[in-house]
Amino acid sequence: MPESAPSSDTPQPESTQQQSKKEEKAASFGAVFLTTFTTVFLAELGDKTQLAALLLSAESGRPVLVFIGASLALISSSLVGVVLGRWLSRVLPPGQLERLAGILMIALGLWLGRQAAVSMFPLA
């Protein structure tokens, strides 16, 4: 490949490459968004956060204000989680982090599943 080759051809493949990269990025943004949304939403329903929100809204009779406060708190806490995750991904090697995260997720899944199962089919 001559180094000083005129680049009349190169911009086109580059731009298509960039485009496909962009599409890939957009798709993965949507996929990551959807995965996170579904997981967090399902896990959060019926959780203690909602219990707190319910109690506060029942006592105060001002559900809008309670909703704003709860939303701000939840957005802050998810920001803390995201920042913590980014920090961990910089500190730990990816393989090790994935293994730790996988074990954590499976443990959470088992615990959550047990809780739900016990609540659905109470034994004694």
Structure tokens given for 75: 């957005």
Q: Name the minimum Å distance from CB 122 to another protein.
A: 11
* 23 lines the binding site for another protein (CB under 8 A): no
Candidates 1, 21, 109, 123; binder of another protein (CB under 8 A) is: 109
* 27 lines the binding site for another protein (CB under 8 A): no
Would you say 17 or 84 has its CB closer to another protein? 84
Find the part of the chain contacting another protein (CB under 8 A) among 2-10, 14-22, 82-90. Answer: 82-90
Q: Name the minimum Å distance from CB 19 to another protein.
A: 19
* 84 lines the binding site for another protein (CB under 8 A): yes
Q: Name the minimum Å distance from CB 35 to another protein.
A: 7
Footprint of another protein on 31-50 (CB under 8 A)? 32-50
Question: Reduced to 3 DSSP states, what percent helix, strand and coil does the chain have, rounded to the nearest 5?
Answer: 85, 0, 15
HEC per residue, 10-69: CHHHHHHHHHHHHHHHHHHHHHHHHHHHHHHHHHHCCCHHHHHHHHHHHHHCCHHHHHHH
# binding residues, another protein (CB under 8 A): 82
Q: How many helices (H) and strands (E) does the chain have?
A: 4, 0
CB 52 within 8 A of CB 73: no
